[in-house]
Structure 1
Amino acid sequence: MTGSEPDAGGPGDLHDSGVELLGAASIRELAARLDLRPTKSWGQNFVIDANTVRRIVRASGVGPGDDVVEVGPGLGSLTLPLLEAARSVTAVEVDPALAQQLPRTVRTLAPSRADRLRVVQADALRVEALPVEPTALVANLPYNVSVPVILSFLARFATLRRVLVMVQLEVAQRLAANPGSKAYGVPSLKAAWYGDVRLAGTVPRTVFWPVPNVDSGLVALDRHNPPETTAPRERVFACVDAAFAQRRKTLRAALAGWAGGADRAEAALLAAGIDPRARGEQLDIEAFAGIAAAVD
C-alpha cells in the first residue's frame, strides 16, 4: 500500500481532525491482506477500539512539543492518534512485516502527518539509540516484556519525561504499588527510582484482537531525579533484587549473600537507619538507596 493506493485499512473511524483511526473491521481486513497471524511469542494483541486509543493519548498528556517513542505499534491503532497529537513518533517494531506496513498505513490514513513518523525495525530490548531523542514513551506493550522495556528505556533515554503504557493489569498494579501492599515488589521499586508511578485506569480485554485472557491497566510515570545516594543505580537494584529473592526473610538474612555476610548486611542496615529485622516489602526506594550506599 502506498499513498496513491486504495485504503488497505478498510473503513476506519474518522477523527474530528480528519485522521482516520483503525477500527475492528479495518484491523481484521489489514491483517488478512498481510496474511498476519498474531503470535503469542511477540505478544501481539491489537487494539480494535478507537475510543481506547484516544483515551490513552489523552492520559499520556502528549502535545505538540513531544517526541514520542512507541514500542510495538503493530498495525498502527495507537500510532495514528499519537501522530495527530505529538511533534513526532518513533515506532519500534520487531516484526519486519509490520514495520514495513506501518508507514504505508500512515500515508493512507494520515497523509498530512506521515512526515512525523519514523520506524525502527528492532527488538526494543536491544535498542541503544533512536533517530529522535524521545520525551515520552506511549505504548501498548507486549505483556511478556513490559517491565524490562519500561526500565530499559528509562535507563537509556534520559530525555524521557513521561511514560503512559498499557500492560497486563496485574503488572500495572505491581508497578504502581506502594510499600506494604501485597503487589509491592521489585518492579514497584525500580520504577520508583525513575519517577512517580500511578495506575491511570483499567482496560477491558474486549478491546483487543485476538482477545487476551486478562484485562489491562494503564500505568503513568512522571520522571523525577533519582534518590540522592553515593551508590550507583546498579548496586541499588542489586540490593532490591536480593531483598525480594527471599521475600519472607528479614533483610539481615536476605541481604547476607549480596553484602558478603549477615554481619555486613546488618551493619549496612543499621548505618542506613533500617531495622535488620525489617523485610523488603516495608521499604521505599530511598531506603534501599541508603542501604546500598552503606555497604563498604
Structure 2
Amino acid sequence: MTDEANTIRPLLSATNIRALAGELDVRPTKTLGQNFVIDGNTIRRIVAAAKVSADEVVLEVGPGLGSLTLGLLDAAARVVAIEIDPKLAERLPKTIEEFRPELAGNIDVILSDAMKVTELPHAPTALVANLPYNVAVPVVLHLFEHFPSLRHGLVMVQDEVADRLVAGPGSRTYGVPSVKSAWYAKMRKAGVIGTNVFWPAPKINSGLVGFERHDAPETTATRKQVFAVIDAAFAQRRKTLRAALSGWAGGAVAAEAALVRAGIDPQARGEKLGIDEFARIAEAHEANLAENGA
C-alpha cells in the first residue's frame, strides 16, 4: 500500500469510537490504561514513524477499538493484536470487516494479557502499540525477551516513561528501564503526542519511542545475571556501587572484587554505567565465584 493510498483511507473518527464504545457499553478504565486515539492524522503519524514495510507482521498490544489497527493493516502484511478485554477482542474482527473488508483475513486477535504471551501464530517483525501507561515498560521488556523476531518498532507511552526508555548514562531520567531496554535495542525519542487526540484525554502528554534491535552485549554472563546487577545498582542509586551491590554480591568485599575485576571504580554510581559495563560486572562476579569454588 502506498503512502498516498494510506493517507486517504478512512480511519476511526471520534464519532466512530464513541459509537463503538456505546454499542459495547465500554467505559475506558484507568485500571487497564485505556485511552483510545480518536484522531486519524495521529494514527497516520504513528504508522509512518514506525516505518512498517508491506511484507511485515506487526504485533500490536492493546488494540482497543481498532484505531491503530486499521492503520497498521493498511501498511503491513499482517497484524497480530493482543487484547486483554474480552468485549474489545470479540468486536475487533467485526470492525475490520466493516472498515477494511478486503483485509479482514490479515489479522489475528489474541485474547490475553500481553505479559503472559510467549507464543504467537505468526512471528512478528515489528512492534507498534499504544501501550497502557502502568505496564508499558514490563510489556516492552517481556516482548523483547520472548520474541527475538522483533527487529524494530514504535510504542506510544507516557511521555516521562518515554524519556526513561531513551535516557543515556548520566541523565537524571536514566534508570532500570533505560539499561534493560539497551540490552535489546537502541531506543530513540520519535515525538510527543498531545492529550486532545485521546478519549478520554489523559492528564499528560504521550511520547513516541522508536527502537532498532541489536545483538545483546558480548558476555559470558546471562541476561538474568546482568539484570540482577542492574536491579541492585538502582535500588540504592545514591550509594556507591561497592555499597549498592553488597547485598547482591554477598558482601561489600565481594562487590568490590567484582568491580575491580571488571575495571570499574567501586566508588562510582550505577547511573554512570552503560549496559556493557553492567555485563562486565556480572561476568566478573561469576568468574570470582568460580575461582573461589562458590
TM-score category of the 2 structures, normalised to the smaller one: over 0.9
- Count, aligned residues: 283
Q: Which residue of 1 aligns with 2:292?
A: none
Is 1:183 the counterpart of 2:173? The answer is yes
Distance 2:157 2:56 in 1: 22
Structure 1 vs Structure 2 CA RMSD: 1.2
Equivalent position of 1:276 in the other structure: 266
Deviations, residues 184-239 of structure 1 (Å, cap 9, x unaligned): 00000000000111111000011110011111000011000010110000010010
Q: Which residue of 2 aligns with 1:260?
A: 250
Q: 1:220 aligns with which of 210, 222, 240?
A: 210
Instruction: List gaps (5 residues or longer) in structure 1.
Output: 1-13
Could you report, residue by residue, the CA deviation over 1:127-176 in whole angstroms, capped at 9, with x for unpaired residues?
11111110011000000110000000000001000120000000000000
Give 1:80's aligned residue. 70
| 1:26-37 pair list within 5 angstroms | 26-37=16-27
- CA shift, 1:18, in A, is 6.3
The answer on 1:207 being equivalent to 2:197 is yes
Tell me, what secondary structure is at the counterpart of 2:202? coil
Q: 1:141 aligns with which of 121, 131, 143?
A: 131
Runs of 4+ in structure 1 over 2 Å off: 14-20
Amino acid at match of 2:38: I
CA contact (8 A) 1:125 1:152 kept: yes
The residue type equivalent to 1:178 in the other structure is G
Q: 1:263 Cα shift?
A: 0.6
Question: Does structure 2 conserve the Cα–Cα contact (< 8 Å) formed by 1:15 and 1:21?
Answer: no
Question: Aligned match of 1:248 in 229, 238, 241?
Answer: 238
In structure 1, give the amino acid aligned to 2:194: P
Determine the structure 2 residue equivalent to 1:42.
32
Long gaps (5+) in structure 2 = 290-294
Letter in 2 for 1:141: L
Contact kept? 1:199, 1:220, Cα under 8 Å: yes
Letter of the structure 1 residue corresponding to residue 126 of structure 2: A
1:100 equivalent among 90, 98, 109: 90
**Equivalent residue of 1:271, what SS?**
helix
Give the TM-score of the pair, scaled to structure 1.
0.94
TM-aligned CA deviation for residue 16 of structure 1? 5.0
Asked whether the equivalents of residues 7 and 44 of structure 2 are also in contact (C-alpha less than 8 Å), the reply is no
Deviations 1:76-95 (A, max 9, x none): 00000100100100000000
Distance in 1 (alpha carbons) for counterparts of 2:48 and 2:260? 46
Q: Which residue of 1 aligns with 2:154?
A: 164
SS at match of 2:145: helix
Counterpart residue type for residue 136 of structure 1 = A
Contact in 2 for aligned 1:19/1:109 (Cα 8 Å): no
Q: Note the C-alpha offset of 1:23.
A: 1.0
The whole-number CA distance in structure 2 between the counterparts of 1:230 and 1:222 is: 23
Residues 107 and 17 of structure 1, relative CA distance in 2, 3 Å threshold: farther
The TM-score normalised by the length of structure 2 is 0.94
Give the equivalent residue in structure 2 for 1:126: 116
* Cα distance, 1:17 vs structure 2: 7.0
Of the candidates 228, 235, 240, which is equivalent to residue 238 of structure 1?
228
